[in-house]
């Protein structure tokens, strides 16, 4: 059979074709491998993002590190992850978090030595690839065939943290060895862990410092109030015991002013002929050794009169345990000391506590009929002890405000009869000296014998007049604020009406001018610009009114058909653009809902208005899809369009006040801000998904409210 003349050429072409196919297959495989690698990289970064969202919350350090170990295994597809946290530089105190560690045994001492070696060989705060050859020389890490390390530390806070992604020799055939790409991704992961951990520690420090500062301020306010208001003398001295400040009570007792006593040693000007030298020695010794001391000493007033002075000296230290100053609390106890010296000696501390806390204490012995009141309660009633001791019961009944007396007597009778063991009550009294009405908060307690007979009544009273007045003032201020808010609402509505009236007039005049046939093209364009500005200003007024209503008016729920509202809103807005646009509705459940109709109307109008406003220009296939899912406990409203969409930057700011994310926008930037305020007011949640040139989906979840 004769061969064609070009047979040889055909064989050559066929051979070339086969070679090209082979090369193409090789290139295709390389492209597939590259795509798989890129997909793997993308998946790793997505997992990094998921990890970041999980741990960027207020969770414990343990939960944080456990989440991190799980993320290492998941992201880097290794069979072992290890995180070692060391803040004591001792193996026994290292905290180890692991995933997959059941396959190997880790000795703490060996691990401690390996960490020391790794710190010397590799830089911190970057991913470091660990080969099997390198780890073979380590005491603990020689169990692994490959790995990647990231560690960070803080010398000031005294900690080191090591992160490992490892493949064991035992399981090496089933896992890919760590490679250069793992080093890069692990650096990113490690930097995320380091950043989040440092932020957590700084946040803890800030919270602790704020708590300490607030506590210090609170204590300082309390001490300042006590020092200025207490009847006891308060003296503040420096570290050498020299007086820096005294309160008015000290001047009242001793007749010495601040200027006269300042820079003198504590008690120096109060010493006299009968001042006990041994007690002075005790006071000086306590101050020398920075100890608290309390005693009763004979002192002298400026006029030379002797008095018994109950003295307590307290050294004050800073957080570094350094002496800051001395505080001395003193009390003139001359009368009590002369008559009840023994009792006061036994109960001196009890008396100081009640004086500092301003708690009145009383006691009534039901058997003997004897009463006992401390100085605080006598001061609360504005009396002198001799006024009260004439007849305690008569004095007390005369002091209780007449409108409260019957109720208090009735409760006391129940306690005396054994019907009540104790009672907490508030009642008003009229001070004996100033006739001022004060309010007391009291606790009355009965003590009984085994048979249940009441033997003794004891009680306490605290003057809460200022606190109660403050509470009433606060209520009055609250009512006043409500009134101001109401007046502000009226003002907003009034000024909005006043602004809209001339706008409507201008629009009417523009309509008349537009009807004129002699207008030039430039004049017509100017008038259209004026008309557009008027519309924008009118929209702004509407949005201000919507914001005012939402922020100040209470939620008022009623029944209405949400689909009818959506359809009516769409019909009102759709003709504001020349292009065609249609509405699609998907329903699941009843269309009648129970919510705030006015607020939802504003919400629907803004969302549909934006979909119409930001449709793709020059297209006739634009749509808005409205979906309703009416469940037992919540309602889902879904708005979807195929408009111009939004970027990630716009999505993050779309609900900010006055934010306009596109040059196509002609609005004020208040609409979506008002929408978010409405959703918050209704206790709902919103989720927005958008893609440029594709469209936007807004999902709103509202909790159902009771019709009652």
Residue 164 scores a pLDDT above 90: yes
pLDDT over 50 (residue 379):
yes
Q: DSSP string of 630-690? A: E-SSEEEEEEEE-SS---HHHHHHTTSTT----TT--S-S-HHHHHHHHHHHTT-EEEEEE
pLDDT at 122 over 90: yes
Q: What is the mean pLDDT of the chain?
A: 80
The verdict on residue 315 lying in a domain is: yes
pLDDT digits (tens, 9 = 90+) for 617-639: 777 788 999 999 998 888 999 99
Q: In which band, very low, low, confident or very high, does the pLDDT at 661 lie, cut at 50, 70 and 90?
A: low
Same domain, 298 and 398: no
CATH code of 262's domain: 3.30.450.20
**Is 35 a member of any domain?**
no
Looking at residue 697, its pLDDT comes to 92
Instruction: Give the pLDDT score at 128.
Output: 92
pTM of the shown model: 0.33
Are residue 513 and residue 563 in the same domain, yes or no?
no
- CATH number, residue 568: 3.30.565.10
pLDDT-derived band at 657 (thresholds 50, 70, 90) equals low
Cα gap 624→605, rounded to integer Å: 13
Render pLDDT for 133-152 as a digit per residue (tens, 0 to 9).
999 989 888 888 899 999 99
CB burial readout 420-439, b (16+ within 10 A) else e: eeebebebbbbebeeeeebb
Percent of the residues in the chain that have a pLDDT greater than 90, as a whole number: 14
SS3 532: helix
* Domain-embedded: residue 502: yes
Q: Residues 567, 694: one domain?
A: yes
pLDDT reported for residue 392: 87
Assess whether 386 and 317 both reside in one domain: no
- Whether residues 448 and 362 fall in one domain: yes
| Residue 443: count of CB within 10 angstroms of its CB | 14
Tally of domains within the chain: 5
Looking at the fold, whether 336 and 362 belong to one and the same domain comes out as no
Q: What is the pLDDT of residue 43?
A: 59
110 phi/psi in degrees, rounded to 5: -65, -40
> How high is the pLDDT of residue 150?
94
pLDDT tens, residue by residue, 44-98: 666 666 666 666 566 788 888 888 888 888 888 888 889 999 887 778 888 888 8
**224 in any annotated domain:** no
pLDDT in the model for residue 344? 47
On whether both 195 and 101 belong to a single domain, the answer is yes
Tell me, yes or no, whether 88 and 183 share the same domain: yes
Residues 524, 559, single domain; the answer is no
Q: What is the pLDDT of residue 428?
A: 92
Q: Does 628 map to a domain?
A: yes
Would you state the pLDDT for residue 708?
34
The whole-number pLDDT of residue 83 equals 92
Give kind and range of the element (H or E) at residue 328: strand 323-332
Examine residue 277 and state whether it is found in any structural domain, yes or no: yes
**pLDDT category, 39, cuts 50, 70, 90?**
low
Q: Among 340, 375, 409, which residue terminates a domain?
A: 340
pLDDT band at residue 454, thresholds of 50, 70 and 90? confident
Domain's final residue, options 400, 430, 454? 454
Pick the last residue of a domain from 407, 423, 454: 454
Q: Are residues 266 and 404 in the same domain?
A: no
Do 241 and 308 belong together in one domain? yes
Q: Please state whether beta strands 437-448 and 422-430 pair in parallel, antiparallel, or not at all (unpaired).
A: antiparallel
Mean predicted confidence (pLDDT) in 448-453: 83
Residue 31 domain flag: no
pLDDT at 626: 92
Range with the poorest average pLDDT among 273-277, 428-432, 448-452, 588-592: 448-452
**Domain enclosing residue 623, as ranges:** 555-703
Own/partner contacts of 397-401, CB < 8 Å, gap of 24 or more, are: 399/429, 399/430, 399/431, 399/432, 400/427, 400/428, 400/429, 400/430, 401/427, 401/428, 401/429, 401/430, 401/437
Q: What is the pLDDT of residues 666-678, one digit of tens each?
A: 555 666 777 888 8
pLDDT of residue 209: 77
For residue 222, pLDDT beyond 70:
no
The confidence score (pLDDT) of residue 640 equals: 93
DSSP 391-450: -HHHHHHHHB-HHHHHHHHHHHHHHHTTS-SEEEEEEEEE-TTT--EEEEEEEEEEEE-T
Burial class (CB in 10 A: 0-12, 13-18, 19+), 663: exposed
Q: Is residue 50 part of a domain?
A: no
Query: Which residues, other chains included, contact 485 with Cβ-Cβ below 8 Å and sequence gap of 6+?
Result: 552
Do 685 and 642 lie in one domain? The reply is: yes
* Higher-pLDDT residue of 179, 666: 179
């Amino acid at each position: 059979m004769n061969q064609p003349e070009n047979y040889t050429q055909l064989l050559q072409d066929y051979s070339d074709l086969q070679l090209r196919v082979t090369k193409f297959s090789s290139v295709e495989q390389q492209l597939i491998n590259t795509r798989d690698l890129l997909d793997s990289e993308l998946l790793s970064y997505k997992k990094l993002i998921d990890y970041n969202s999980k741990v960027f919350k207020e969770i414990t350090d343990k939960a944080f590190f456990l989440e991190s170990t799980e993320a290492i295994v998941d992201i880097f597809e290794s069979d072992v992850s290890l995180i070692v946290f060391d803040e004591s530089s001792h193996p026994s105190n290292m905290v180890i978090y692991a995933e997959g560690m059941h396959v190997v045994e880790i000795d703490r001492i060996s691990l401690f030595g390996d960490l020391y070696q790794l710190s010397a060989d590799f830089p911190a705060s970057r991913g470091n690839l660990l080969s099997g050859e390198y780890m073979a020389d380590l005491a603990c890490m020689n169990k692994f065939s490959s790995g990647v390390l990231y560690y960070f530390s803080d010398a000031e806070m005294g900690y080191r943290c090591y992160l490992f992604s490892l493949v064991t020799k035992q399981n090496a055939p089933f896992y890919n060895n760590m490679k250069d790409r793992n080093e890069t991704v692990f650096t990113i992961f490690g930097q995320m862990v380091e950043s989040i951990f440092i932020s957590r520690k700084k946040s803890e420090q800030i919270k602790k410092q704020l708590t300490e500062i607030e506590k210090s301020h609170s204590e300082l306010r309390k001490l300042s109030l006590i020092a200025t208001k207490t009847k006891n003398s308060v003296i503040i001295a420096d570290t050498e015991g020299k007086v820096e400040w005294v309160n008015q009570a000290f001047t009242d007792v001793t007749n010495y002013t601040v200027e006269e006593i300042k820079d003198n040693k504590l008690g120096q000007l109060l010493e006299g002929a009968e001042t006990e030298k041994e007690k002075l020695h005790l006071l000086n010794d306590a101050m020398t050794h920075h100890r608290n001391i309390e005693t009763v000493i004979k002192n002298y007033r400026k006029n030379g009169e002797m008095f018994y002075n109950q003295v307590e000296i307290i050294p004050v230290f800073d957080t570094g345990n350094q002496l800051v100053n001395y505080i001395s609390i003193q009390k003139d106890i001359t009368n009590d000391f002369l008559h009840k010296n023994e009792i006061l000696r036994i109960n001196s501390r009890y008396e100081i506590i009640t004086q500092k806390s301003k708690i009145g204490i009383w006691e009534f012995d039901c058997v003997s009929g004897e009463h006992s009141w401390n100085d605080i309660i006598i001061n609360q009633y504005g009396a002198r002890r001799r006024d009260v001791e004439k007849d305690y019961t008569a004095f007390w009944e005369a002091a209780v405000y007449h409108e409260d007396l019957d109720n208090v007597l009735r409760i006391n009778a129940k306690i005396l009869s054994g019907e009540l063991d104790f009672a907490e009550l508030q009642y008003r009294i009229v001070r004996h000296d100033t006739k001022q009405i004060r309010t007391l908060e009291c606790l009355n307690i009965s003590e009984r014998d085994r048979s249940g007979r009441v033997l003794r009544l004891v009680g306490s009273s605290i003057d809460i007049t200022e606190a109660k007045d403050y509470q009433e003032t606060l209520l009055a201020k609250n009512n006043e604020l409500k009134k101001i808010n109401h007046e502000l609402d009226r003002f907003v509505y009034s000024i909005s009406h006043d602004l809209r009236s001339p706008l409507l007039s201008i629009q009417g005049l523009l309509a008349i001018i537009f009807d004129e046939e002699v207008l030039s093209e430039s004049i017509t364009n100017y008038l259209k610009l004026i008309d557009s500005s008027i519309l924008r200003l009118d929209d702004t007024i509407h949005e201000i009114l919507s914001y005012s209503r939402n922020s100040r008016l209470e939620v008022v729920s009623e029944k209405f058909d949400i689909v009818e509202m959506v359809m009516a809103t769409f019909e009102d807005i759709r003709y504001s653009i020349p292009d065609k646009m249609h509405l699609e509705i998907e329903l699941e459940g009843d269309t009648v809902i129970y919510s705030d109709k006015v607020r939802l109307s504003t919400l629907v109008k803004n969302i549909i208005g934006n979909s119409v406003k930001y449709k793709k220009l020059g297209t006739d296939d634009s749509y808005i899809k409205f979906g309703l899912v009416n469940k037992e406990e919540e309602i889902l409203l879904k708005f979807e369009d195929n408009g111009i969409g939004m970027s990630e930057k716009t999505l993050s700011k779309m609900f900010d006040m006055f934010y306009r994310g596109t040059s196509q926008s002609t609005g004020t930037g208040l609409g979506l801000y008002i929408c978010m305020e409405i959703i918050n007011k209704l206790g709902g949640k919103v989720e927005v998904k958008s893609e440029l040139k594709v469209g936007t989906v807004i999902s709103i979840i509202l909790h159902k409210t009771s019709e009652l």
